[in-house]
Amino acid sequence: NAGVTQTPKFQVLKTGQSMTLQCAQDMNHEYMSWYRQDPGMGLRLIHYSVGAGITDQGEVPNGYNVSRSTTEDFPLRLLSAAPSQTSVYFCASSYVRGSYEQYFGPGTRLTVT
Amino acid sequence: SQELEQSPQSLIVQEGKNLTINCTSSKTLYGLYWYKQKYGEGLIFLMMLQKGGEEKSHEKITAKLDEKKQQSSLHITASQPSHAGIYLCGAYRNAGNNRKLIWGLGTSLAVNP
């Protein structure tokens, strides 16, 4: 099993550009989520999904879109990148929502100039 | 202010020394999770504590939950360079009909050989 994979590992965008961060898991987990990690702010939940076709907003959803067409994939879209979106992004999955053990991807380090 | 406060923020120890990291909650703790993040990588689940007084060990890492103090401590015995990284605590909070996972800001640990 590859676990949770994320691509790309690093990305630099100009303000206003759009891009999609990819996340996939091969553990048949129902619950998937996206976090951003910033110094002094810790991990903050952006969006989450409790199953294919179902998504919901977390704490900091503005500027991000998600979709969940399959159990395996949960891409995060930045529609118009802003410098405030410079961060490290983590995708995580677990068997169900509320499961105590989440599996994290290696992260994507995004810089918006 | 953070609902989960971790102390210390950072720690540098000599290899072989023992150390303790604390995670204190501003609200009642019903369960607490410890994760480790290696620099530049995702989070790895270490252990979960569910009941007051519970103590769990994984290799040389022991975690305890003191429900009365609303605190958990993570103790590393005879630290090694492989213990270096950021240790994060997480806990679930009830938010209406849902549960929300909140995180501490992390404790950065360096172990000098």
Q: Is the peptide bond before B8 cis (omega within 30 degrees of 0)?
A: yes
Yes or no, beta carbons of A104 and B2 under 8 Å apart: no
B96 touches chain A (CB under 8 A): no
Shortest CA distance from B31: residue in chain A: A100
Q: pLDDT by residue for chain B (113 residues), tens digit each?
A: 678 999 999 999 999 999 999 999 998 877 889 999 987 788 999 999 987 788 999 889 999 998 888 899 999 999 999 999 999 999 887 766 666 788 999 999 999 99
Of B33, B99, B104, the CB nearest to A42: B104
A50 touches chain B (CB under 8 A): no
Closest C-alpha to A6, from A100, A101, A88: A88
pLDDT of residue B95: 63
Residue B60 DSSP SS3: coil
First to last CA, chain A: 36
Task: Check pLDDT > 90 for residue A4.
Answer: yes
Q: Which residues of chain B are within 8 Å of residue A9 when distances are taken between CB atoms?
A: none
Residue A100: which pLDDT band, with cuts at 50, 70 and 90? low
pLDDT of residue B41: 83
pLDDT of residue B29: 76
pLDDT of residue A98: 65
The whole-number average pLDDT for the span A97-105 is: 79
B31 touches chain A (CB under 8 A): yes
Each residue's pLDDT tens digit, A29-73: 999 999 999 988 889 999 999 999 999 999 899 999 999 999 999
pLDDT of residue B98: 64
Task: Check pLDDT > 70 for residue A99.
Answer: no
Of B33, B35, B42, the CB nearest to A107: B42
Long-range pairs, A68-74, Cβ under 8 A, ≥24 = A68/A32, A71/A28, A71/A29, A71/A30, A72/A24, A72/A25, A72/A26, A73/A22, A73/A23, A73/A24, A74/A23, A74/A24, A74/A25, A74/A32, A74/A33, A74/A34, A74/A49
Q: A35 near A92, Cβ under 8 Å?
A: yes
Q: Which of B33, B34, B87, B101 to mutate to test the interface with A (most CBs of A within 10 A)?
A: B101
B22: its two tokens: 């604390």
Q: Which of B39, B43, B45, B108 to mutate to test the interface with A (most CBs of A within 10 A)?
A: B43
B40 touches chain A (CB under 8 A): yes
Q: A86 near A70, Cβ under 8 Å?
A: no
B106 touches chain A (CB under 8 A): yes
